[in-house]
């Protein structure tokens, strides 16, 4: 009888051990499923995700271009552009040394106008669809909070335009600071233009130029979103 009781106890202990091991295995798998995607994606999204989000919004703007009109495209793209680009930083950079000469009021006007001009540029240009596609080409490994992502716009006639985005990580988010097309830096081109206008026409001349471009872009659809 004692032998039988010991066998029963041993069998119970074995079942409890097997159950415990299964529970731990389930728990570990469950925790990996919850924790890994959260820490990898939600807390530290990849630089390519910023570009994917931008491309998706631009493609929607193109596909729904006529339906939305300029105002609708502006509203669609505005939050994505503001989230994808380091607008405050690039605005300061393209103003060059003149940024230090701006008063606080002028800085606020300039940043607001620069942001509106950036959104208007995308809303005005990505307004029609004829089978275009975006394709992510490559992504460099982040180095000291900087990364480069290359993307292609494949047109309906199979022509391709390559965009090389330089991004910086700011407060946990990857944001675009420059776009290179055919190896030409859009940041450098914009800075050369802005600094030239500031030197010739001053602050008011630059703001007038930007507002004029915004107006021209909005008139392509007959209405202004501003």
pLDDT 10s digits, 51-83: 999 999 999 999 999 999 999 999 999 999 999
Task: Give residue 10's pLDDT.
Answer: 52
Judged against a pLDDT cut of 80, whether residue 118 lies above it is answered with: yes
Task: Give mean pLDDT, residues 151-159.
Answer: 91
- List pLDDT tens digits, range 159-205: 999 999 999 999 889 999 999 999 999 999 999 999 999 999 999 99
Task: Give residue 144's pLDDT.
Answer: 84
Task: Give residue 190's pLDDT.
Answer: 97
- DSSP codes, 147-212: EEEEEEEE-TTS-EEEEEEEEEEETTEEEEEEEEETTEEHHHHHHHHHHHHHHHHHHHHHHHHHHH
Q: How far apart are CA 90 and CA 85, in angstroms?
A: 8
What is the three-class DSSP state of 138? strand
Place of tokens 């490994």: 141
Task: Give residue 49's pLDDT.
Answer: 96
């Amino acid at each position: 009888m004692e032998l039988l009781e010991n066998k029963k106890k041993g069998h119970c202990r074995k079942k409890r051990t097997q159950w415990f091991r299964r529970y731990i295995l389930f728990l570990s798998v469950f925790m990996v499923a919850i924790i890994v995607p959260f820490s990898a994606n939600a807390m530290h999204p990849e630089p390519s995700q910023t570009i994917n989000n931008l491309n998706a919004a631009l493609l929607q703007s193109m596909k729904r271009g006529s339906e939305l009109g300029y105002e609708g495209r502006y509203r669609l793209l505005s939050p994505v552009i503001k989230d994808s680009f380091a607008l405050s930083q690039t605005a300061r950079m393209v103003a060059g040394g003149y940024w230090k000469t701006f008063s606080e009021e002028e800085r606020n006007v300039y940043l607001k106008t620069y942001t509106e001009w950036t959104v208007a540029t995308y809303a005005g240009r990505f307004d029609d669809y004829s089978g275009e596609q975006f394709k992510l080409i490559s992504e460099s490994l982040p180095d000291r909070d900087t990364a480069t992502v290359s993307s292609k716009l494949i047109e309906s006639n199979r022509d391709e335009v390559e965009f090389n985005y330089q991004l910086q990580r700011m407060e946990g988010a990857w944001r675009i600071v420059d776009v290179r097309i055919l190896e030409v830096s859009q940041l450098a081109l914009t800075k050369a233009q802005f600094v030239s206008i500031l030197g010739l026409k001053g602050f008011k001349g630059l703001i007038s130029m930007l507002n004029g471009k915004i107006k021209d872009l909005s008139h392509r659809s007959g209405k202004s979103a501003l």
